[in-house]
Structure 1
Amino acid sequence: MDFDLVVIGAGPGGYVAAIRAAQLGLKVAIVERDKLGGICLNWGCIPTKALLKSAEAFETLGHLEDYGLRAEKVSFDLDAVVARSRKVAGQLNAGVAFLMKKNKITVIEGEARLEAGAPSPVVRVALKAGGERILKAANVILATGARARTLPDLGLVPDGERVWSYREAMVPDRVPTSLLVVGSGAIGIEFASFYKALGSEVTVIEALPRILPVEDEEVSAAAQKAFEARGIAFRTGASVRRLAPSGKSVELTVEAGGVTEVLKAEVAIVAVGIVGNVEGLGLEALGVTIEKTHVVTDSHGATGVPGLWAIGDLAGPPWLAHKASHEGVHCVEHIAGQKPSGLTAPIPGCTYASPQIASVGLTEAQAKARGLEVKVGRFPLRANGKAIAAGHTEGFIKTVFDAATGALVGAHMIGADVTEMIQGYALAMTLEATEADLFATVFPHPTISEGMHEAALDAFGWALHT
């Protein structure tokens, strides 16, 4: 064997798996056809947050008088905003390269394809620099990620001019005067929030009855109300019939409640989900099971083909970078013969719009659907001292407890910086905390996180400040 482990794909799942394997003493190679860090570091999680931070700062400048401050001739430089985002991505790409070198991981740039072999498939790499390299390893982990879904029959295919994917939306040459966003998941909502802050007239189209459909219903409703207050328009329960360029604009035909409507805008962003990168790897010939563009695995990442594993977006939802990293560590520890930790740890989800949304565990509806008798707590941020002082009173925190055991089974937040707080509830759930544990936890004052304590207390009728 050339290596103990070959990882295909250097996104947050692949490179973290490679690092953990190296820490455990395995000889590791990682194959990447584009850039270290994958979509997340280069075109997703990180650079979008840089864009959103610029938008947040610019939006705050428009409300300085609320804080007793003044500024004149406030404006933005779009090229500089985009350049900062790309610089952040470049810095993190270089950081991953450093980590590969530090952990003595062999980095191979090229396109990988699998062929039958023993004890695991052989990896044949068409090198970016030319030529080919064949790698043999005891184990191979697939971490090839996913890409944006397109729907050609409906015209939902980016053309780089009037119809954008997330890539074009992250490096715009202009701020569109009007914008249609097709899809109201986290990606669609974040771009809607960004472009609205910079002055676009934004309309979001969602096929399901409510926006952010994976979130708790109360949070979805509050989010739509908050976004509408900022001037973002929505069409929910709206089926897309056709998106087509029309001169210097686009026309989107949608149908809702039996009524057909044609929406026009300068640009449309397509954010209708993702599909796994399963093509060109030779998976079918190996007998790998693929369902709805994702590789089917067991709870450890095993594909059913000896020595072949799959993690991250390729292996199905939730399509989150931290889920991919967690799966990578778990898979490698299992391969190394250790007892992996955190197999069933809850996975938080975050949307970095304005306001932010964060959640972990079951929604209230999901808990009831599982037959649980629940106790639900809510705490409005308008009753929190730090939120009032900071001028961020929009939103609330919601908890869902199993009434029979007192276990926290879900938590949901909307408001300023809630993405930085949700991990507290995730930790509580991982440690199987009950309401008594949360009641006994001391939260620092004054912080918005005190609302987490109050939301737990409220579920049992003991809230102190409402």
Structure 2
Amino acid sequence: MSASYDVIVLGSGPGGYVAAIRCAQLGLKTAIVERENLGGICLNWGCIPTKALLRSAEIKHYMDHAASYGLKVAGTIEADLAAVVARSRGVAKQLNQGVTHLMKKNKIAVHMGEGTLTGPTSLTVKGEKGEEKLTAKHVIVATGARARDLPFAPADGKRIWTYRTAMTPPEMPKKLLVIGSGAIGIEFASFYNDMGAEVTVVEMLDRIVPVEDKDVSTFLEKALTKQGMTIMTGAGVEDLKATATGVKAKIKDKTGKVSEQDFSHCIVAIGIVPNTENIGLEKLVEMDRGFIQIDPYGRTKSKGLWAIGDCTPGPWLAHKASHEGVTAAEAIAKELGNKEVHPHPLDRNNIPGCTYCHPQIASVGMTEAKAKEAGYQVKVGNFPFIGNGKAIALGEAEGFIKTVFDAKTGELLGAHMIGAEVTELIQGYVVGKQLETTEAELMQAVFPHPTLSEMMHESVLSAYGRALHI
């Protein structure tokens, strides 16, 4: 069987399925190829189901601290891990069905199977319909990435886990080792700590969540330590062996001392590997460490072949992939003669990052250190949650909001937050950066009261010595 399209998207994650929908909206005959589940890793095994898990942990956290809110809970609070996981899988299933509906609604042909490129604009699909040969005017590669294994201790799904097993655990860890303190590692550390596990986090660099502003890293380490976690920075796991009953780890601390410690389980969260092998890309694109090199619109070096999402350079975030998908779709439509679309290149400085631990972290733009390294003279504002009425009323008075401005022009260079609901608040600064705002517009904006968002205003005021409530 063979078929021809205007656009074929290889991979149906948040980049791929959004790209397909936008192509269809623009009147292009579109197909999508998926080897596993519509919605990809993010929807089925990543962003969404992990947030469902973390929501359960958050509810348990509040129940454990009910007395702080003047409430009494009869008996002990126990986590039913199987029920928590079942709820998470139910959320993923519901959204998978939603993507299936969106494909039908937008008349996008779905080919389930393993796709292999035979040229820049052709591929074969081996799947439920046997082997299909597909051609298109343009092909978008959106094959995503997978968890990186430790070379000396690959995940076994029993004692050594990646995020995939950590979302559907065979049992509740009693003593958990988390290797890596990026968003994935810290989120699972936070989840299992709230669920009752004894958690140790090992980070090779000198601070946890190392891509964040240093002040955020320092605050988070104190908060997690207060919650009972053991945080080891400047440390490395030199050996890891699974046994019938647990995991033995040799950990070298920041002083150089090596100790052998026993854990019941280990989660490895040391980064990702792009899914770019064995799909026919070798002679068609340029790669760097397996990541497909693209221009700001998603074009590769081969005419008609595009790439988006986690198989391309970072940041490796679902919302970045979706945005790239729309950009590539509009650029393709323009090449095919649509004069109504005006694609814009992606500005990576305006991509927000969110980590859903407790407390939450969110940021956009440059850290204070990066801004100074780039040669800016900066004005920095900082406002604590303890100065905000809504935060105190919520019982969430730990955290702060930090803003970084160019001292010469007032341009907003970056914003960094830690505390309750900051993953929702950050979008205000994202919009501000996209609109190239300065401190003047932010100062003049009226923020509703009482809200957490007032801290954003106060942080801006603080950068210019005008904060009202500290």
Number of residue-to-residue matches in the alignment: 459
Q: Does 1:78 align with 2:81?
A: yes
Q: Secondary structure at the match of 2:231?
A: strand
Q: CA deviation at 1:336?
A: 1.1
Q: CA deviation at 1:339?
A: 1.9
Q: Does 1:209 align with 2:206?
A: yes
Aligned partner of 2:338 in structure 1 is none
Q: Secondary structure at the match of 1:5?
A: strand
Q: CA deviation at 1:343?
A: 2.7
Task: Select 1:249's aligned residue among 235, 246, 251.
Answer: 246
Contact in 1 for aligned 2:297/2:345 (Cα 8 Å): no
Aligned partner of 1:272 in structure 2 is 270
Q: Aligned partner of 2:419: which letter?
A: G
Aligned partner of 1:431 in structure 2 is 435
Q: CA deviation at 1:67?
A: 0.8
Aligned partner of 1:294 in structure 2 is 291
Alignment of 1:313-324 (within 5 A): 313-324=310-321
Give distance in 1, aligned partners of 2:213 and 2:259: 29
Q: Secondary structure at the match of 2:354?
A: strand
Q: CA deviation at 1:242?
A: 0.9
Aligned partner of 1:192 in structure 2 is 189
Aligned partner of 2:69 in structure 1 is 67
Deviations 1:113-152 (A, max 9, x none): 0113xxx43111112x141111110000000000000122
Q: Aligned partner of 1:421: which letter?
A: L
Give distance in 2, aligned partners of 1:10 and 1:147: 14
Aligned partner of 1:218 in structure 2 is 215
More deviation, 336-345/219-228? 336-345
Q: Does 1:30 align with 2:32?
A: yes
Give distance in 1, aligned partners of 2:243 and 2:309: 39
Q: Secondary structure at the match of 2:239?
A: strand
Q: Aligned partner of 2:382: which letter?
A: R
More deviation, 137-146/293-302? 293-302
Q: Does 1:263 align with 2:261?
A: yes
Deviations 1:277-297 (A, max 9, x none): 00121111x331111121111
Q: CA deviation at 1:263?
A: 2.2
Give distance in 1, aligned partners of 2:209 and 2:370: 15
Aligned partner of 2:337 in structure 1 is none
TM-score between both structures, scaled by the size of structure 2:
0.96
Q: CA deviation at 1:251?
A: 1.2
Task: Select 2:333's aligned residue among 323, 333, 336.
Answer: 336
Q: Does 1:177 align with 2:174?
A: yes
Give distance in 2, aligned partners of 1:137 and 1:92: 28
Give distance in 1, aligned partners of 2:144 and 2:447: 38
Q: Secondary structure at the match of 2:469?
A: coil
Q: CA deviation at 1:306?
A: 1.1
Q: Aligned partner of 2:22: which letter?
A: R
Aligned partner of 2:44 in structure 1 is 42
Q: Secondary structure at the match of 1:393?
A: coil
Aligned partner of 1:283 in structure 2 is 281
Unpaired runs of 5+ residues, structure 2, are: 335-340
Task: Select 1:10's aligned residue among 9, 12, 15.
Answer: 12
Aligned partner of 2:125 in structure 1 is 125
Aligned partner of 2:117 in structure 1 is 114
Give distance in 2, aligned partners of 1:398 and 1:231: 26
Give distance in 1, aligned partners of 2:256 and 2:15: 43
Q: Aligned partner of 1:122: which letter?
A: S
Q: Aligned partner of 1:454: which letter?
A: E
Unpaired runs of 5+ residues, structure 1, are: none
Give distance in 2, aligned partners of 1:287 and 1:347: 28
Runs of 4+ in 1 over 4 A off after TM superposition: none
Give distance in 2, aligned partners of 1:173 and 1:432: 49
Give distance in 1, aligned partners of 2:441 and 2:269: 40
Q: Aligned partner of 2:45: which letter?
A: W
Q: CA deviation at 1:302?
A: 0.8
Give distance in 2, aligned partners of 1:310 and 1:381: 41
Give distance in 2, aligned partners of 1:421 and 1:342: 25
Contact in 1 for aligned 2:45/2:164 (Cα 8 Å): yes
Q: Secondary structure at the match of 1:2?
A: strand
Give distance in 1, aligned partners of 2:449 and 2:51: 28
Q: Secondary structure at the match of 2:89?
A: helix
Task: Select 1:450's aligned residue among 447, 451, 454.
Answer: 454
Q: CA deviation at 1:247?
A: 4.1
Q: Secondary structure at the match of 1:180?
A: strand
Question: Kindly, what percent of the aligned residue pairs are identical?
Answer: 57
Q: Aligned partner of 2:131: which letter?
A: E
Contact in 1 for aligned 2:37/2:44 (Cα 8 Å): yes
Give distance in 1, aligned partners of 2:437 and 2:377: 17
Q: Aligned partner of 1:125: which letter?
A: V
Contact in 1 for aligned 2:237/2:251 (Cα 8 Å): yes
Task: Select 1:420's aligned residue among 411, 421, 424.
Answer: 424
Q: Does 1:370 align with 2:374?
A: yes
Task: Select 1:96's aligned residue among 92, 95, 99.
Answer: 99
Q: Aligned partner of 1:135: which letter?
A: L
Q: Aligned partner of 2:459: which letter?
A: A
Q: Secondary structure at the match of 1:136?
A: strand
Q: Secondary structure at the match of 2:261?
A: strand
Q: Aligned partner of 1:310: which letter?
A: A
